[in-house]
Amino acid sequence: MIPRRNQRGFSLVETLFALLLFSLSIMALMRYQLVLAEGFQQQWQQRSAWRNARQLLQGNPLEGWQAQVQQKDGPEGCPLLIAKTVSPSGRRAELVQLRCPVVGN
């Protein structure tokens, strides 16, 4: 039998190399997706900390959070409220609110 010189297809080495590149690409994309998910999770936790601090200033703290409100004297006798919260995962937020009474004419 005479071997053909114009054979079509890929050799075993080419196929294995392509499979290696494909596997490495998939692994890199999976790692990237994991890093993105962790970033979104941290951002969500920080937003939750700010939201809880706002609710704390409104008098509605969330359960399971460390929360503290301090009141200090502000300018012109207006009370200055400082709300500090710490999430169960350790995210911190602090909001400061100056509450001055509305004076009518």
pLDDT in tens, 45-58: 899 889 999 998 88
pTM of the model: 0.64
Taking the C-alpha atoms of residue 104 and residue 26, their distance in angstroms, rounded to an integer, is 66
Please report, for the chain, the start and end positions of each structural domain, with discontinuous segments joined by +: 12-98
The reported pLDDT for the residue numbered 25 is 97
Tokens in use for 42?
A: 């941290």
Q: Give me the amino acid identity at 87.
A: S
Do 87 and 45 touch, CB atoms closer than 8 A? yes
- 45 by Cβ neighbours in 10 Å (0-12 / 13-18 / 19+) ranks as middle
Per the model's pLDDT, the better-predicted residue between 8 and 19 turns out to be 19
